[in-house]
Structure 1
């Protein structure tokens, strides 16, 4: 699948617009740290682990998994609504074809399952904010944070999540993690997936440069995780490492932002080339045909099931 970066901003400003905290956070250099965190956490859901493992793609090219998933989230956060609706519909269609049996429970899995989709969504939006706070400018203002979580709920409308289940506050996110913790687990395949995303082997498709970049990035992404997640995933480490990583990471992000106004585009060819294309086009985009934002319901009425084209997928 390919993405045409000249079509990211056509009709409108998407769902959130230039003054939104989502635009600020999802285009910050820290977003790639947060997203490595998110794609590693996905494997705590045994049904998602089964889906990803059965396709086998993550073992031949882990960068593809991070890049395509990151690209989809970016399209929803900063793209125009036509592109976002088309990406969502295409992804749901592919997911509908990917079903099987989860071996731990013996139950059937589907990537479109609302609980699985909610886990992907919450870990993505929360992880990117967490990285922004720890390694970027710091916490949002109370008003910005409230708006960010409202935008998180809106973005979930493009997936199969039940709207009433999507956390709308930071406390709601904590309650969500507490609620699902009992069903999170690891397995041999989950461990393989987590370690592919954090400690990529150069033998697995992406090459030495990406493997080195992913391993360096993992120092920062692991530092954002609570102890219980690190122990569950069997990648915990001494606290002294976190104490060293946090100030070093903040300095590197600050330098990166200072000397490279294009943010993580500089690193995109190594870590996430398609996400880099989207960000580059986002920075170059002018005023759209209609300089306004739409709701997912309005956008779906305009663009749903029409003019589909190839878009990135997480499968």
Structure 2
């Protein structure tokens, strides 16, 4: 498994090539946007923070306690999966998409606000996660990176977003294909979102990036705090007023304005130095390095081709995510809703070789 290779002794000189280009490749807008330093930093943080406004999603997150009990590994594994969708080879991505369904089978229970059952594999929940991610990555790129995409590039970006949606349980037909469509989706979702106490607490926790990072020697802790503080300010600055109010996040307009040039300069520097970009990624998320580094360093794959998700499913024998592990998911439902027991962690354990260690 190419993405399982570790960074070599020289930090980034011995990255293993991917088997192929996966589902996008060097001509894709996704590689252009997701490969910029804003994506796996502010863009990623914005996505996972905003997601928590969905009552069903935050109930699942709160029940598992993963972001509280093991924040670094949860951050590392989630960021690795985000990167795999865009950068990994097709075989590795199909494995990841398949096992993620089994991981999400643990995320079931009763949502306390409505009293209704929730399921992390529910298509509507997966659509919310998918679109908040792709929108946040693009928003951060445009605000703190090179600027707005051309109309043609933006159209291509949302087409590629629809391709990536085939790795989730959601319906590809529900993916917006332009900026107006994504705005309409958020307008539709807004009445369904809630700034509950648990949502606010979780969002605030996720905005403290230092809890997600590996231990830092005492001499460097002030720098780590400054970086984490800047990321927090920068992320909040990307959120609309109604979302901040719902989340209980207070930040003055002056900070919003001042952080923009700081972020633009900070992200531009590693963009011009590939090895610095990989070194920073190694600090942020070691598990993501083998996934993103071959692309960031321009290392060609063993076979320079791209596949469609349908071609990959036929080639490797995986079902669509919506149809994956149905028997296992039914057993999890019976265990939780029938026997009133905790769901099995088997999917999490099986995911470690693909998504990274839990410890």
TM-score of the superposed pair, with normalisation by structure 1 = 0.90
CA distance in 2, matches of 1:83, 1:311: 8
The CA deviation at 1:152 is 0.2
CA distance in 2, matches of 1:201, 1:293: 37
CA distance in 2, matches of 1:304, 1:213: 44
The answer to whether residue 355 in structure 2 is matched with residue 312 in structure 1 is yes
Match of 1:297 in 2: 310
Alignment map for 1:201-280 (pairs within 5 Å): 207=215, 209=221, 213-258=227-272, 260-262=273-275, 264-280=277-293
Match of 1:21 in 2: 29
CA distance in 2, matches of 1:244, 1:107: 43
The answer to whether residue 93 in structure 2 is matched with residue 84 in structure 1 is yes
The answer to whether residue 161 in structure 2 is matched with residue 127 in structure 1 is no
CA distance in 2, matches of 1:61, 1:199: 14
Mapped contact 1:28–1:263 kept (Cα < 8 A): no
Mapped contact 1:46–1:184 kept (Cα < 8 A): yes
- Cα 1:140–1:201 shift into 2, 3 Å: closer
CA distance in 2, matches of 1:134, 1:23: 17
Larger Rg: 2
CA distance in 2, matches of 1:205, 1:213: 11
Q: CA RMSD in A?
A: 2.5
| CA displacement 1:138-159 (0-9 Å, x = unmatched) | 1111111110000001100110
Alignment map for 1:49-198 (pairs within 5 Å): 49-198=58-207
Q: Secondary structure at the match of 1:44?
A: coil
The CA deviation at 1:282 is 3.0
Q: Secondary structure at the match of 1:109?
A: strand
CA distance in 2, matches of 1:150, 1:262: 30
Structure 1 unmatched runs, 5+: none
The CA deviation at 1:121 is 0.4
* Structure 1 moving runs of 4+ over 4 Å: 204-212
The CA deviation at 1:60 is 2.2
CA distance in 2, matches of 1:263, 1:205: 18
Structure 2 unmatched runs, 5+: 6-14, 320-350
Mapped contact 1:86–1:309 kept (Cα < 8 A): no
2:38 to 20, 30, 39: 30
